[in-house]
């Protein structure tokens, strides 16, 4: 998430009321999660296990809960609770905006686009030309939709990320300030949910078609011309490359990559990254030919046991 202007380190420290290490005028241009950070971004870390990863990331400002040596060319924000203060920054730069109309006045809708009744379109939404959006669709703030997109009834674009920190009093939600970006010629089925990024974009690539009742987690990037069948659940921060086919009731773990032109057969649990150009099946996931051989061999066990008697 980029800020509306470049801020100084001191200005950011004042927003969250914390100490800083580095030049007071050190420039800060945004904030992001560690997998998408770049120069000028703030990243937060609150566990020693991940200190080195954060300090050595592309982020040039690290919001951290301990004074450590500051890497050359970077700055630190010292906080007793980086998770809380990351939320403060999200609230400051991307606060929730109330709306009491079906289509926000700040939304932009392209020529030829049809919006069916009872659809909600939030603040600063951009919708391209010649789209068809059916009834009871909810499109949250800042969502971007390209041209020639079809969205079936009941789908939700831009729900909050499922991202929580365990506290003594319960779970604390990490606020979502990112977006959903739908490219041209995408088709999305009925009753799908596509969560926005925590600070970045959840992206559906050009020409991809998604069946009914599919969930796409925060910050996931789906490539071009993919086919995703119903009741599939894709976790956060997944990369699905171009021309991937995913059949029904597939589930994935977070942070993995599915290579281009891979085929994931129905009811597979994608427990790790997999290469493109191959077919996969089962939980834990394996190449489908090998997995089906294993299942065939399991069926032979009673016959083998009878022979051993």
Catalytic (active-site) positions = 218
d(CA 53, CA 16): 23
Number of Cβ within 10 Å of residue 19's Cβ equals 11
| DSSP reduced 3-state for 294 | helix
Measure the CA angle with vertex 93, ends 87 and 98; round to 5°: 90
Cβ partners under 8 Å of residue 34, min gap 6: 43, 45, 50, 53, 54, 57, 59
DSSP 136-178: T-EE-TT-EE-SS-EE-TT-EEEEPP--EEEETTEEEEPPP--
**Pick from 79, 80, 48: nearest CA to 61:** 79
d(CA 244, CA 240): 7
Q: What is the DSSP letter of 221?
A: E
Contact indicator for 156, 194 with CB cutoff of 8 Å = yes
Q: What is the DSSP letter of 266?
A: T
**Pick from 248, 287, 285: nearest CA to 270:** 285
Cβ partners under 8 Å of residue 294, min gap 6: 286
């Amino acid at each position: 998430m980029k800020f509306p202007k470049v801020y100084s380190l001191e200005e950011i420290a004042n927003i969250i009321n914390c100490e800083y290490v580095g030049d007071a005028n050190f420039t800060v241009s945004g904030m992001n999660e560690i997998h998408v950070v770049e120069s000028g971004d703030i990243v937060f870390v609150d566990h020693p296990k991940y200190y080195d990863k954060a300090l050595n990331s592309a982020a040039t400002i690290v919001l951290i809960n301990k004074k450590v040596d500051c890497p050359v060319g970077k700055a630190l924000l010292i906080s007793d609770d980086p998770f809380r203060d990351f939320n403060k920054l999200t609230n400051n730069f991307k606060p929730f905006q109330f709306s009491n109309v079906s289509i926000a006045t700040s939304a932009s809708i392209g020529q030829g686009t049809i919006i069916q009744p009872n659809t909600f379109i939030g603040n600063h939404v951009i919708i391209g030309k010649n789209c068809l959006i059916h009834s009871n669709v909810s499109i949250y703030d800042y969502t971007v939709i390209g041209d020639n997109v079809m969205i079936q009834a009941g789908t939700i674009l831009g729900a909050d990320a499922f991202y929580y920190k365990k506290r003594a009093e319960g779970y604390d939600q990490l606020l979502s300030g990112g977006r959903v970006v739908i490219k041209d010629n995408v088709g999305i089925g009925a009753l799908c949910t596509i969560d926005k990024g925590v600070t970045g974009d959840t992206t559906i690539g050009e020409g991809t078609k998604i069946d009914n009742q599919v969930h796409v987690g925060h910050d996931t990037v789906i490539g071009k011309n993919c086919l995703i069948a119903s009741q599939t659940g894709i976790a956060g921060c997944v990369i699905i490359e171009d021309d991937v086919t995913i059949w029904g009731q597939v589930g994935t773990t977070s942070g993995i990559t599915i290579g281009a032109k891979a085929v994931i057969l129905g009811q597979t649990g994608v427990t790790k990254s997999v290469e493109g150009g191959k077919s996969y099946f089962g939980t834990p996931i394996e190449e489908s030919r090998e997995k089906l051989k294993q299942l065939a061999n399991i069926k032979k066990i009673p016959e083998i046991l009878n022979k051993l008697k």
